[in-house]
Structure formats: C-alpha cells, structure tokens
Amino acid sequence: MKLAKFFHRPPGDDDRGLLFIPGDEPTVVGKYMNEAPGARKKDEFLRKEYSKPKTAVATFRRQVAELTAAGYIETTHTDYMLRNLLPDPQPKPDWQKGLDDLMLAALGEPLDVQAKYLAALRDTPAASQPLYLWLAAHHFYADDQDNNQIIALAERGRDTIAAHRAAKTPHYFWSMEDRDLEARILEVLSWAHLRADNPKAALEAIEEACRIDASQDRGAQLATILVEHFPERQEEAFDDAYKYHEFGGYEDIIALPAYADYVARRKRKSKSDKGWRWHTKKPASEGDVLQAEQELGANLPKDYRRFLTTYGSTELQVRLPEESAELCFYRPTELATQRNNLFNYITRFEKDPEKVDAYFREHYGVAARDLLPVAAPSQHSRCLVINLGQGERFGWCFEWDHDGSWELTQAAPSFDAALKALTSGIGKRDATVLNFLGVYLD
C-alpha cells in the first residue's frame, strides 16, 4: 500500500507530492513535480523512515499542513506514480480529505483518536464509501464493540463495492487498489464471523478475500480456520504452511504433530506420483455461463462450458515433494473483465489496436481481442487463454506471459487438449509445463 497526496500552487511549476508507505519501517517521501522549463532537475525534498507508525503519521500530517499554509491546494489526484498534475488540477473535496485523515489515524494513532475521525465523518458523503465502512468495521473490531454491528458494516462495504462495480460508478479508495480494499473488508468480516462462532461464514469470507487479492496474512488466516474448524480440509492448510511458513504467520500450524506427519508423507512421495490434483469443485450455473456469453458477445467452446458447469472456479494444484503451485480458474462473472484487462495490457503501447490484431493473426491465426483468459498460475502474471474468434481456430488454447505480451506459446486445439497437456506435463515433470505454473526444478 502506498498513500499519496498531491499539491498544486499556480502557475504549476512547483507542484509537490507526498507519499506515505506503511510497514515495519513506515516511510514518508516528498517529491518535486512540474518543474519550470530549464530548471535544474530535482526529485525529492524529503525521505525519512521511522520506527513507529505514530511518528510517521505525525510527520505526514505536518508536511500537509506546511504545504497548505504555503499556498498549495491539495488536488483530487491519487495515483502515487504521477509526476505531473497539469493541465487542470482540481481541489480535493473535504470529505475525501476526511477519509484520508481517518486512514492515517487507523495506521498510526490510538483507538480514541480514530473514533473522533469516524464521528466527524458520520454525517458526510464519506460515510457511504466502502473505505469508511471498512475502517469503521476494523475500528469496532479492534475496540471489541458489538459484533453484529461489525458484520453489518463489513457486509455493507462489500455490497457497496459490488453495486458500484455493477453500475460502473466510482467510489473513493484513496491510493489503495480497489481489490485490496475489497479483500481487507472481507478479512474483517471473517474475523467477526469467527468471533460470532460462525466458522463457515468466516471461511467463505476469507476464501473470497484470498481469491480477490491473496496475501501472506490472508493465507495464514485461511489455513488457521481450516486447521481449527474443518479437519477434513486440514491438508490444504498444511500445503500452504509448507509453501509459505518461512514468511511468517504459520507458526502454530507447523508446530502441530499432524503437520510433521504431513511433511514426512510428502517427502516419501515417489517420483512416479502424478503430482497434481483438483481442488474443491465450485460448479457454475447454466445461468452464470449464459450471462458470461452475453457479456462477452461470443459463445464459449463446448468443452470449456462443460468444465465451468462441472468444476467452476477451482484450482489445478501441483504438489511435488519440495514444490507447490496452483492454476486458478476464473468464475464466469470475471471473464469479460479478464478479457478486457488482457487486451488493454497487450495494446498499452500501440495506438492502433488493428495492428496488434494483424500481428497476432499473422503469427498465431487469432486476433488479440478474441483471447479470453480462463486461468492463471497463483502469484504469476501469465495465463491460459482461449480463442473466441470464429474460424478454424475457435476454441484453441495458448499460454500467455506478460514478459512477452505479443507472444503465444503451447498451442492446443481445444480446452480439453490444453488441460491434458498440463496434467500429463506435471506427471512427466516437464520443465516447460512446470515453469508456466511457477515451479522451477533444479
């Protein structure tokens, strides 16, 4: 997470940016922007790390106050990568500034101070924003307040994001990523359900959080719930602990005698073991598939439709003696967004998308705009794609990687053929297949 504020002072040749970076050593950075032509290039006017969040927050607030006193106007910009505010920077509304202050308070100030910021925003437009609802739920949980209220706030935040997304209307989440905010809301919802002795609801919430935006902490929370409340899924928790325990959060799990038994069994696996399995099936409904086709404006291949209604948004899990990986399949409701994201990434440096399509047709017999991502290896920017374009190569599958965004590899004439190539490749320990999945054997 990086939280940025930007400040404009006419005529615009001395604009400034402030960046707050939370963490074990929270950092405050001040940047020069929009320098006058011919001026000596300057970069930062401040960069300092702190041992305590409270001190870092105080420094950030003081810098904001000093810039405002010097005649700078805080603008609506939030992208921490920005380097130029011109041509027409607009002042940030007070309720958005209030949400920023509440966020800073949550990062470095006591609960009683946070409560004052929450109360100040209660009757403003900020109170309907998912960011406010998350911070309120988080605060009430930390303050051990009414659990039903915490659940209600978190659910309202989750549902508000979904409503904005469906209506394609914006909401304010400062410099956070939208998916990060959504996952954090679900984290709090999971905590509250656990406190309410509802592990099933807690599990559903944290699984959704991990699907939206996986992190070490969320993975550890999920594994802990599985171990403590769902013994039939204990091995999934052990899988994650085996892979990620060195980064922290799994200490209680790896101390269990059952975990030691799991490790011993895993290391005894023979080289002839197939090395893969399917995760829990989550079949999609026929209605969801039809809606996806409507959003895509194209029919899905029969074999992929069959997969969605049989397996759904599952995972193909690689489990070798020393390595693990997951190929995560998208829900039907995510497909149109994934297709747009892929095409936008491929064409990000090309003003004429037709040139991109022409290149892909020449080299692969498909158009880039017809490529549909259906699955991606966990924590890797690559995906399995299906061609939805009509013609001889309708339904063909390819592998795509962001490092070679104009390249397609491992062509397969159908989705079923692509799955067979992946599973048989895992069984044979084929380096190309394993590398695509994020497994690199010596």
Summarize pLDDT for 272-293 with one digit per residue, the tens.
Answer: 789 999 988 889 999 999 999 9
CA distances from 298 to 84, 230, 292 (A): 40, 40, 9
Tell me the residue type at 123. Answer: D
Number of residues that make up the chain: 442
Helix H or strand E segment including 315:
strand 315-319
- pLDDT grade for 25, boundaries at 50, 70 and 90: very high
Report whether 7 contacts 17 (CB < 8 A): yes
Q: Encoding tokens for residue 104?
A: 């800073």
Whole-number Å distance between alpha carbons of 284 and 310:
7
Closest by CA position to 435, among listed 426, 243, 373:
426
Whole-number Å distance between alpha carbons of 84 and 31:
11
Across the beta sheet with 3-8, the strand order is: 44-49, 27-33, 15-21, 3-8, 73-74
User: Which pLDDT value is given to residue 360?
Assistant: 95
Contacts by 22-29 with C-beta closer than 8 Å and gap 24+?
Answer: 22/53, 22/107, 25/49, 25/50, 25/51, 26/50, 26/52, 26/53, 26/56, 26/57, 26/107, 26/108, 27/56, 28/56, 28/59, 28/60, 28/63
Helix H or strand E segment including 131:
helix 130-142
Report whether 222 contacts 240 (CB < 8 A): yes
Whether 419 shows a pLDDT value over 90: the answer reads yes
Residue found under tokens 């209600």:
152
Q: What is the mean pLDDT of the chain?
A: 92
Closest by CA position to 324, among listed 387, 237, 239:
239
| Close Cβ partners of 209 (under 8 Å, ≥ 6 residues apart) | 182, 183, 184, 186, 187, 190, 218
Tell me the residue type at 30. Answer: G
- pLDDT tens digit string along 228-280? 999 999 999 999 999 899 899 999 999 999 999 999 988 887 777 899 999 88
Whether 54 shows a pLDDT value over 80: the answer reads yes
Q: Encoding tokens for residue 321?
A: 């003696």
Report whether 378 contacts 214 (CB < 8 A): yes
User: Which pLDDT value is given to residue 38?
Assistant: 52
Q: Encoding tokens for residue 419?
A: 């799955």
Whether 211 shows a pLDDT value over 70: the answer reads yes
Report whether 126 contacts 95 (CB < 8 A): yes
Whole-number Å distance between alpha carbons of 356 and 349:
10
Report whether 372 contacts 388 (CB < 8 A): yes
Whole-number Å distance between alpha carbons of 409 and 425:
15
H helix runs in 168-215, sequence order: 178-195, 199-212
User: Which pLDDT value is given to residue 351?
Assistant: 80
Whole-number Å distance between alpha carbons of 52 and 350:
45
Can you say whether the dihedral through the CA atoms of 79, 68, 103, 55 is positive or negative? Answer: positive
Give CA 430 to chain center in angstroms: 29
User: What average pLDDT score do residues 12-41 get?
Assistant: 80
Whole-number Å distance between alpha carbons of 362 and 402:
20
User: Which pLDDT value is given to residue 39?
Assistant: 52
Q: What is the pTM of this model?
A: 0.81
Closest by CA position to 223, among listed 234, 231, 232:
234
Q: How many C-beta atoms lie closer than 10 Å to residue 264's C-beta?
A: 9
Whether 36 shows a pLDDT value over 60: the answer reads no
Q: Encoding tokens for residue 237?
A: 């928790």
User: Which pLDDT value is given to residue 10?
Assistant: 83
Can you say whether the dihedral through the CA atoms of 144, 149, 155, 156 is positive or negative? Answer: negative
User: Which pLDDT value is given to residue 382?
Assistant: 94
Tell me the residue type at 155. Answer: E
